[in-house]
Structure 1
Amino acid sequence: MAFFQRATDYPCQLILDPQNDYETLRRRVEQTTLKAQTVNRNRSGVTNVSSPGKSLNLYPSNEYEVLPNGSEAHWEVVERILFIYAKLNPGIAYVQGMNEIVGPIYYTFATDPNDEWKEHAEADTFFCFTNLMSENRDNFIKSLDDSQCGITFKMESVYSMLKDRDMELYLKLQEQNIKPQYFTFRWLTLLLSQEFLLPDVIRIWDSLFSDQDRFHFLILVCCAMLILIRDQLLAGDFTINMRLLQDYPITDVHTILAKAKELQDHS
């Protein structure tokens, strides 16, 4: 988070040109307000609506520090990438969680030791994010949820694989009525980007993106994650296990990837 709040060395050139009247995305967001009325109700049920005209800021300024004009924070670059992607892909638009996918990609390019490559981090990120979403977009389209290419089918595939590899653990989760959507939805749609620290996410993605059948490999990784904490899951009750699955314990990612590869070799 600290990195994304820092200023980029390569802000959008349109921002630096005083001759154009380009309105920055930052300014458009800052100006987004909602005219609202305050409603008060006393104990006797009388409703009092105050006079209109009070504005509520939809985007609190304390979430990210806004830098002075002429400079841009890395989070603003990411915001622009997502904004343009949504405009160019109205059928998908922006869905919460896409920021968790674009973040590691942008970070990798924007911290490249080669300054010439770093300068083009925004364009490179947009290109790679668009290509990745062309393969992964079905997870973000609600109308496809229950199709064979949708997220529901993929979540059930994790349990189907677990059933083949570890019947005892599968039956335990079924007995406790722990459904795959309780945790695998986030694992699969965000490509595990919220489950591990950023260096570990990048390491997992190296293996994921180098696999020709990368999204099947992701299911193998999810299954491996379950098997590696099987003893804790078998010993835990519903509450403990839900907490464990929604906040995966610190684990060496190389162990997880090795287990996934083992499952892949035996399939």
Structure 2
Amino acid sequence: RRQEDALGRHILHPRQGYLPANAERRESVLQRKRQEYFGFIQQYYDSRNDEHHQDTYRQIQIDIPRMSPESLVLQPKVTEIHIDIPRTNPLIPLFQQASVQEIFERILFIWAIRHPASGYVQGINDLVTPFFVVYVFEYIEEEVENFDVSSLQEEALRNIEADSFWCMSKLLDGIQDNYTFAQPGIQRKVKALEELVSRIDESVHRHMQQYEVEYLQFAFRWMNNLLMRELPLRCTIRLARQSEPGLSQAIWLPDTRGGEGPSITTEKEKRERHAEPEGFSHFHLYVCAAFLVRWRKEILEERDFQ
């Protein structure tokens, strides 16, 4: 487990893509982005109870009681980002802590109102978890799953929250059409998975056709949550490493160089960055296909897929 914990530090630290290439500017940009996030909190968070934000906040809140059913303090908050937060790794004590749930609530609400094209959609909460865990790693030496986050200093918690927000935002920049009306991004990815499986394992594909199994029935969740509800948390972090450099350098970690003076990015880096969002989608697609190939024997023996 300690080796796996160290893996998290290796994958997403230092903040490649989050900070400018110019080392002299990194600290100032990092502090500016953190201040910008808490500026959003000050500007928008009190509006969560306004009528025009109630639907968003209700969806975020409904999951909170399910995340920590013993927490009576949270029970009266029956609104919509709270539906999903309790579903965030419900078996891991870390995510049952009230302070962690409050951090997730702020991150999700601010992201939602800054992205009105999609707003908050169930499953987005899962995308915060790998960033949050990796940044908690920076402040502790013990296993993160049972760590009491409230024991950290306030400044550390603020840094973790802001960095997690920007990283999740960068990830979603490349896949936001997964969450807009009719979720066209997911529709395309599920169709691509079906076409891929038909090429690499025709027997599995024909078997599912024979028993009228639609790929959307099982793969929608895989695409919506990027497999983060299917795998242990440590495995989702390992998947990030397998997709380096694209995922860890540019998708999972935001690039804040824009507007900060002349870019010193090389032409090779520019080409890589341009291709990375699609590269991540392809990587995720092949992981999903690998699941079906790995369990092909069980699939081919199955007759009742209800």
Matched AA of 1:164 = R
**2:296 is aligned with 1:235:** no
Q: How many pairs does the alignment contain?
A: 188
RMSD: 3.4
SS in 1 for 2:230: coil
Secondary structure of the structure 2 residue equivalent to 1:193: coil
Deviation at 1:118, TM superposition (A): 6.1
Counterpart contact for 1:102–1:129, Cα < 8 Å? yes
State which of 202, 206, 212 in structure 2 corresponds to 1:177: 212
* 1:199 counterpart letter in structure 2: R
CA distance in 1, matches of 2:289, 2:281: 13
- CA displacement, residues 64-110 of structure 1 (integer Å, 9 cap, x when unaligned): 4349xxx9611100110110111111111111110011122212212
Structure 1 residues not aligned, in runs of 5+: 1-12, 14-20, 34-57, 243-267
Matched, 1:130 2:156: no
Structure 2 counterpart of 1:208, from 240, 243, 247: 243
1:85 aligns with 2:111: yes
Please tell me the residue identity of whatever aligns with 2:286.
L
Q: Of 107, 113, 123, which residue of structure 1 is paired with 2:133?
A: 107
Structure 2 runs not aligned, ≥5 long:
1-34, 36-41, 55-60, 75-96, 141-151, 247-275
* Deviation, structure 1 residue 28: 5.1
For the residues of structure 1 that align with 2:215 and 2:63, how far apart are their CA atoms? 34
Cα deviation for residue 220 of structure 1 reads 0.6
8 Å contact from structure 1 (residues 110, 119) kept in 2: no
Check whether the contact 1:158–1:222 (CA below 8 A) recurs between aligned residues: yes
Evaluate the alpha carbon distance shift between residue 28 and residue 62 of structure 1 in structure 2; reply closer, same or farther with a 3 A threshold.
Answer: same
Contact in 2 for aligned 1:87/1:93 (Cα 8 Å): yes
Q: Which structure has the greater CA radius of gyration?
A: 1
How far residue 186 of structure 1 moved from its aligned partner, in angstroms, is: 0.7
More strand by share: 1
Decide whether aligned partners of structure 1 residues 143 and 230 sit closer, same or farther in structure 2, where only a CA change above 3 A counts.
closer
Q: Does 1:221 align with 2:282?
A: no
* CA distance 1:144–1:185, change in 2 (3 Å): closer
TM-score (norm 1): 0.61
Q: Give the whole-Å Cα distance in 2 for the aligned partners of 1:61 and 1:206.
A: 30
Task: Work out the percentage of aligned pairs sharing the same amino acid.
Answer: 28
Q: 1:208 to 1:192 in 2, by over 3 A?
A: farther
More helix by share: 2
TM-score, normalisation: structure 2: 0.54
